[in-house]
Amino acid sequence: MGSVEGLDDALSAFRERVLTYGRELYRDLPWRRTRDPYGIWISEVMLQQTQVSRVDGRWQHWLERFPSVDALAAAQTADVLDEWQGMGYNRRALALLRAAQQVSAAGGAMPSEVSQLVALPGIGPATAAGIRAFAFNLPGVYLETNVRTVFLHELYPDAVQVPDRELIPLVEATCPADASNPEDDPRAWYYALLDYGAHLKKTVPNPSRRSRTHVRQSRFEGSHRQKRAMVVRSLLAHRGEGATATDIAGELSAQELQAGREPVDEAAVLGILEELASEGFCHREQERWQA
């Protein structure tokens, strides 16, 4: 594509195509019916590497259990982890809790400035831009996977290993600067990109694979990451009375054997427990571990 300079006509035509597709493909998703920054923040984190169909339902249940930043900030770690089960990457739940505690301590209002958002645990540039666009209707560089898919498909149809540094100026240049036109403001623009991108992934070979940022996810089954998740689930199942490393090793070994894999020894489980404890997932009381 080259530089943004001299591309005004091409980008204008690109924007018209995206907005047209956006109107045709619009998805009426639950989190699009609110402008509450907290609810939108939760949806943005849940939607990271997770299918929309899985988030629909889980998002609503989360908000019933933790209806506000202050409610989440006051929750027990085990309760937050329990509600997150099945959504992958337990670190995200812990980051949500820690960020909510910071926001609550500062008065309970989600910030709208990029610098303040990215200073919170678990919020990177894309999540910050999503919160700004969908909650506050403010412009930004919202370069998530579906958005990236559209730019690659439309503007880099034959290129491979396209770096984000080439896409960022284009994403910034095409996002409306204000909210004066409700049919073409930052919120509507990024919804159009998301819906067109989701459609492309179902109808053409995934363009995002031609991005330099594309990394094939490592196998989860039998991995250390899976064992960490299994330990967290075991701790949650023993809430109150806690569990010893021996107890947890027995439970994990039974699950591994059932899956046709080798049992897990107690030393390995103890290492995982100490790893999780250092990250704030659990703590030790005498010989028993608690979430």
CA 13-19-20 angle, to 5 degrees, is 90
- Is 154 labeled as catalytic in the residue annotation? no
CA 168-158-189 angle, to 5 degrees, is 40
Helices 186-203 and 8-25 cross at an angle (nearest 10°) of 80
Residue 81: closest CA among 69, 68, 97, 70: 97
Task: Look at residue 289 and give its three-state secondary structure.
Answer: strand
Cβ(228)–Cβ(81) under 8 Å? no
- Cα–Cα distance measured from residue 18 to residue 196, given in angstroms and rounded to the nearest whole number: 7
Secondary structure (H, E, C), 194-220: HHHHHHHHHHCCCHHHHECCCCCCCCC
Return the bridge partners of 260, or none.
none
- Cα–Cα distance measured from residue 254 to residue 260, given in angstroms and rounded to the nearest whole number: 10
Instruction: Tell me which of 5, 16, 24, 44 is the catalytic residue.
Output: 44
Cβ(114)–Cβ(125) under 8 Å? yes
DSSP assignment letter at 111: P
Which residues are marked as active site?
A: 44
